[in-house]
């Protein structure tokens, strides 16, 4: 798929990885719809990206919200051929913490946003993409999941987050196999330690310390680097059914 033909919905599009992806795709001539629950930042982000972008309020844990936002985005763009799931939270919590066992509601919230949210966006987007006219090699669409290195090396205190991201990665291959008959690819991206709004809440010395743990380059990843990988996935049809690490060769320690 050529970048200037992209018509993409991006959850978590108001900031971080999602906004960087929207900016990259729009700069290449594509159209993008930013899905988020942050109305003012979302509208400002869409305005900053430019005329090729729109903002749509969407709670990714709500089937009705996701279906409505994806339909509205597809109508505005005159179609839909890419979805990128970037909405996510990384709420920490030990199974047995100092205040007792991890609340079930806290665990469920992380899974609802990270895992269910990815599934709902896939579901709504694929339902539209299956009817696209086939392009080269019969391609009709692309679903991109944002997993994490925590899916493979979850640290102490990350039981909910690691579980949610392992599930996001685990959906990639079965969906790629299922949707192959429609010419819809499914690819995962597993970022390492990136400079996102989640990370911005930490003191600068803590961020610098985390960056130095990366073998090379010894720094936090940049959202623009995630976006460049998304662009590469869009244009390379042989990338399918795999979750790609983008982590500077880091392997997370237990804590």
Residues 6+ apart with CB under 8 A from 208: none
Angle 117-129/63-77 helices, nearest 10 degrees?
40
For tokens 């006219």, the residue is 133
Phi, psi of 193 (to 5 degrees): -90, 110
User: Any catalytic annotation for residue 161?
Assistant: yes
Task: List all residues 6 or more positions away from 237 whose beta carbon is below 8 Å from its beta carbon.
Answer: 1, 136, 137, 139, 185
Terminal Cα-to-Cα distance of the chain (whole angstroms): 41
Q: Which of 161, 172, 211, 226 is catalytic?
A: 161
84, 145 contact by CB (below 8 A): no
Q: How far apart are CA 55 and CA 39, in angstroms?
A: 8
Which residues are annotated as catalytic?
161
């Amino acid at each position: 798929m050529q970048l200037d033909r992209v018509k993409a919905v991006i959850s978590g599009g108001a900031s971080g990885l999602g906004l960087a992806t929207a900016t990259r795709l729009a700069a290449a001539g594509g159209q993008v719809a930013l899905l988020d629950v942050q109305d003012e930042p979302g509208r400002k982000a869409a305005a900053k990206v430019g005329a090729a972008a729109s903002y749509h309020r969407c709670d990714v844990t709500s089937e009705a919200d996701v279906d409505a936002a994806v339909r509205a985005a597809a109508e505005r763009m005159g179609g839909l051929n890419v979805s990128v799931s970037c909405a996510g939270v990384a709420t920490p919590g030990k199974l047995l913490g100092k205040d007792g066992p991890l609340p079930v509601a806290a665990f469920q919230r992380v899974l609802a946003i990270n895992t269910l949210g990815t599934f709902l966006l896939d579901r709504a987007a694929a339902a539209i993409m299956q009817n696209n006219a086939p392009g080269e090699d019969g391609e009709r669409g692309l679903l991109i999941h944002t997993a994490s290195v925590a899916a493979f090396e979850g640290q102490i205190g990350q039981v909910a987050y690691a579980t949610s991201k392992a599930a996001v990665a685990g959906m990639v291959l079965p969906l790629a196999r299922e949707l192959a008959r429609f010419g819809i690819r499914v690819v995962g991206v597993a970022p390492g330690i990136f400079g996102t709004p989640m990370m911005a809440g930490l003191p600068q010395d803590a961020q610098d310390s985390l960056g130095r743990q990366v073998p090379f380059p010894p720094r936090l990843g940049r959202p623009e680097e995630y976006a460049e990988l998304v662009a590469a996935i869009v244009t390379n049809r042989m990338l399918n059914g795999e979750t790609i690490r983008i982590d500077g060769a880091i392997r997370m320690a237990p804590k």
